[in-house]
């Protein structure tokens, strides 16, 4: 079918605007991370210190006696308002992100994940939506900048180095398995972005708790390790079955297209290794002796393999998946 150039152009504009909005939201979250959490911690320490001094017979510390340079509730409140503005911008960015995907699909009259540009667009969309769900359930909004940073980087690479004009997919990809297999891979990979970032933060927080000198200026602003562990586990538990389903569907499609279920193609191999790593994470997380730091390290390895499979295998290695640019 002919390509609708107008809708394709609107999709590109929506994509570019989405990246700009995510960058602005990232800055807002960094402001909240730098001043809001730090301010709350400093204010809490000031109150505790004041109580100790009053108990020792010192005069009561009131707001009028606090130095002008000290952290005040107003400054903390401003930082939190900026954080809420960042969340509102993120929601707006998600809506534009979705618009870019839908317009791309309408322009090409197919599912909008037929090349690397579209695939990255879809994966990052799932990643941001997953984080919004987690930020609503857990007090981790101020960490949104750490999730948006890899999202923005991936989208920048996708919109520049990997950009492809709207066009029909190759005949080999014109199959209903394209909808099933690749969509499952997109959802699994997108959700895996969140536990990957959460695991890195968990390791930093855990290292700080064992040695307060490590990441001293940063780790105090990270939530308790238990919260990060729950986020990592819940998102991985959701993504792993979807990813498994995608791998199985890929094997069925491979048998239909290439006459074999599995041929140890580079992408198939790395996907299988990543599957084994995430299975090991879930097993280690369920085993008391391997919870915590060891499980987080395994999850980080799985995240690294997912990113490696997305870029290096698709763009550098030569295999049956090379022509497709996707799943």
Q: Are 104 and 121 in contact (CB under 8 A)?
A: yes
Residue 7: partners with Cβ closer than 8 Å, 6 or more residues away: 103, 104, 106, 107
The pLDDT of residue 289 is 67
Distance CA 112, CA 123 (A): 11
Residue 316: partners with Cβ closer than 8 Å, 6 or more residues away: none
Query: pLDDT 10s digit of each residue in the chain, 327 long?
Result: 678 999 999 999 999 999 999 999 999 998 888 776 554 444 444 444 544 554 555 554 444 444 444 445 555 578 888 989 999 999 999 999 999 999 999 999 999 988 889 999 999 999 999 999 999 999 889 899 999 999 999 999 889 988 989 888 877 677 788 889 889 999 999 999 999 999 999 988 888 777 776 666 676 778 888 899 999 999 999 999 999 999 898 888 878 767 777 777 777 888 899 999 999 999 888 876 677 888 899 999 999 998 888 776 666 655 555 544 444
Distance CA 292, CA 289 (A): 9
Please report the beta strands in the chain, taking only residues with DSSP state E, as ranges in sequence order: none
The pLDDT of residue 1 is 66
Q: Are 193 and 150 in contact (CB under 8 A)?
A: yes
Residue 230 exposed, middle or buried by CB count within 10 Å (0-12, 13-18, 19+): middle
Q: Are 302 and 281 in contact (CB under 8 A)?
A: yes
The pLDDT of residue 106 is 94
**Single pTM value for the model:** 0.83
- Dig out the tokens for 199 from the structure: 């695991």
The pLDDT of residue 316 is 64
Number of Cβ within a 10 Å radius of residue 194: 27
Q: Are 79 and 35 in contact (CB under 8 A)?
A: yes
Distance CA 146, CA 312 (A): 23
The pLDDT of residue 45 is 46
């Amino acid at each position: 079918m002919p390509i609708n150039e107008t809708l394709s152009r609107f999709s590109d504009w929506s994509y570019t605007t989405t990246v700009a909005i995510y960058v602005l939201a990232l800055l807002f979250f960094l402001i909240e991370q730098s001043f809001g959490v730090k301010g709350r911690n400093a204010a809490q320490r000031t109150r505790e210190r004041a109580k100790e001094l009053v108990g020792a017979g010192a005069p009561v510390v009131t707001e009028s006696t606090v130095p002008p340079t000290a952290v005040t509730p107003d400054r903390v409140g401003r930082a939190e308002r900026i954080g809420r503005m960042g969340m509102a911008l993120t929601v707006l960015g998600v809506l534009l992100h979705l618009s870019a995907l839908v317009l791309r699909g309408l322009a090409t009259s197919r599912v909008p994940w037929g090349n690397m540009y579209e695939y990255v667009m879809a994966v990052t969309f799932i990643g941001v939506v997953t984080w919004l769900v987690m930020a609503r359930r857990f007090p981790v909004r101020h960490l949104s900048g750490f999730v948006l940073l890899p999202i923005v980087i991936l989208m920048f690479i996708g919109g520049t180095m990997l950009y492809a004009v709207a066009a029909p997919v190759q005949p080999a990809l014109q199959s209903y398995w394209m909808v099933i297999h690749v969509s499952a891979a997109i959802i699994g990979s997108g959700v895996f972005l969140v536990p990957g970032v959460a695991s890195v933060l968990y390791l930093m927080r855990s290292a700080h708790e064992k040695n307060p000198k490590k990441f001293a200026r940063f780790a105090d602003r990270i939530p308790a390790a238990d919260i990060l562990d729950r986020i990592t586990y819940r998102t991985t538990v959701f993504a792993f079955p979807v990813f498994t389903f995608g791998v199985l569907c890929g094997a069925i499609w491979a048998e239909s297209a290439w006459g074999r279920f599995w041929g140890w193609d580079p992408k198939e191999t790395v996907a299988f290794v990543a599957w084994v790593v995430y299975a090991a994470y879930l097993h280690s997380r369920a085993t008391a002796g391997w919870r915590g730091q060891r499980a987080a390290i395994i999850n980080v390895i799985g995240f690294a393999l997912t990113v490696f499979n997305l870029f290096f295998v698709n763009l550098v290695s030569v295999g049956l998946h090379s022509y497709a640019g996707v799943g």
